[in-house]
Amino acid sequence: MADTRVNLCGIELSNPIIPASGTFGYGYEFAELYDINVLGSFSFKGTTREPRFGNPTPRIAETPSGMLNAVGLQNPGVEKVISEELPRMSRVFHKKVMANVSGFSVDDYVYTASRLSECEQVGWIELNISCPNVHGGGMSFGTDPKSASEVTAAVRRAVRKPLIVKLTPNVGDIAEMALACESAGADGISLINTLLGMRIDLRKRRPLLKNTTGGLSGPAVFPVALRMVYQTAKAVKIPVVGMGGVASAEDVIEMMLAGATAVEVGAENLVNPYACRDIVEALPGAMEKYGINKLTDIIGGAL
């Protein structure tokens, strides 16, 4: 019988499938469609210290084999997430969840991460220093090793839960960024967030997105994501969570061979709301096809 269990920073998952932050909300909309407890975990909507309306519309645009988004971290703020969203979430999901944290200063990150770290439901803090769709925060920390190290170290001192730092692909040397975070105390690395892109409305002769640029996700980015997961897993000694264009059980196996311990599924949830359930169900068959008895046996198998 196929053994799909993995261990992510000391917490065992029944399988490595984790819906990515921003594509699964707080889980309860998907819980109306299927039992989301079949998932290994999920990373809930990115949380900031204060409420955020997000960017003005239009903030979604289709692209060949993917999509652009410039939502801009719309969320009700950490206090409402703790008082309203987490209790509601606990009624439909009974495993540990991943809390995705964003900010505009080191103090923002520390405050939000420490508040969420106090919550019993939260298994990991996913420190998002990679969002390309907000001005003055997010990716500004994730494109400079010194800044990435500073925010990682500050949050590491403030939280007791495993700390996974989410990296942007919009850098010259992804391994350098990962090593900086590892040295500053990160327990894991997750990547990739979206690639910066844009589209132009031919009739209006101006960008389709009000924000001008947005993050490209979907199958188009999978080869880039796989390459960066491979480079990161080669460079660091801590677990890597791979994501970027994952749409099938075969993609999951490929990510794990490249070095991922767990795999997040993002844009595919917006195309097919059953995507993660379908991948979980297809995983044992894919393992049998490729002669895999235990998923843990193949982590980094291509390195």
The band of 260, judged by pLDDT with boundaries at 50, 70 and 90, is very high
Report the percentage of the chain scoring pLDDT > 90: 93
Read out DSSP for 31-60?
A: HTTS-GGGSS--EEEEE-SS-B--SPSP-E
**Regarding the domain delimited by 6-298, which CATH topology (the fold level of the hierarchy) does it fall under?**
TIM Barrel (3.20.20)
Mean pLDDT, range 150-156, rounded to an integer:
97
Q: Which tokens go with 86?
A: 């987490």
pLDDT score at 132: 57
Which residue matches tokens 């839960």? 161
181 touches 149 (CB < 8 A)? yes
The band of 1, judged by pLDDT with boundaries at 50, 70 and 90, is confident
Q: Which tokens go with 25?
A: 């909300």
Catalytic residue among 9, 119, 131, 181: 131
Q: Phi, psi (5° rounding) for residue 220?
A: -60, -30
Distance of CA 41 to the CA centre of its chain: 11
How many distinct helices (H) and strands (E) make up the chain? 11, 16
pLDDT score at 48: 96
The model's pLDDT over 204-237, given as tens digits with 9 standing for 90+, comes to 999 999 999 999 999 999 999 999 999 999 999 9
pLDDT score at 130: 79
Distance CA 9, CA 19 (A): 17
Distance CA 66, CA 247 (A): 11
Asked if the model's pLDDT at residue 136 lies above 60, the reply is no
The model's pLDDT over 58-102, given as tens digits with 9 standing for 90+, comes to 999 999 999 999 998 899 999 999 999 999 999 999 999 999 999
39 touches 33 (CB < 8 A)? no
Q: Residue 28: which of 94, 100, 91, 116 has the closest Cα?
A: 91
Mean pLDDT, range 251-280, rounded to an integer:
98
191 touches 210 (CB < 8 A)? no
Q: Phi, psi (5° rounding) for residue 212?
A: 75, -60
pLDDT score at 82: 98
Under DSSP, is residue 238 helix (H, G, I), strand (E, B) or coil? coil
User: Where do the structural domains in the chain lie, given as residue ranges?
Assistant: 6-298
The band of 142, judged by pLDDT with boundaries at 50, 70 and 90, is confident
Asked if the model's pLDDT at residue 140 lies above 80, the reply is no
Distance of CA 232 to the CA centre of its chain: 15
Report the percentage of the chain scoring pLDDT > 70: 97
Q: Which tokens go with 27?
A: 């889980």
Task: Name the amino acid, one letter, at 79.
Answer: E
The model's pLDDT over 156-166, given as tens digits with 9 standing for 90+, comes to 999 999 999 99
Mean pLDDT, range 253-280, rounded to an integer:
98
How many other CB atoms sit within 10 Å of the CB of residue 183? 13
How many angstroms separate the Cα of 280 from the Cα of each of 6, 193, 284?
Answer: 13, 22, 8
Q: Which tokens go with 295?
A: 């998923």
Mean pLDDT, range 240-259, rounded to an integer:
98
Asked if the model's pLDDT at residue 138 lies above 90, the reply is no
User: 45-61 burial string, b = 16+ CB within 10 Å, else e?
Assistant: bbbbbeebeebeeebeb
**Active site (annotated) includes residue 131:** yes
Q: Which tokens go with 296?
A: 């843990």
The band of 143, judged by pLDDT with boundaries at 50, 70 and 90, is confident
pTM confidence score: 0.95
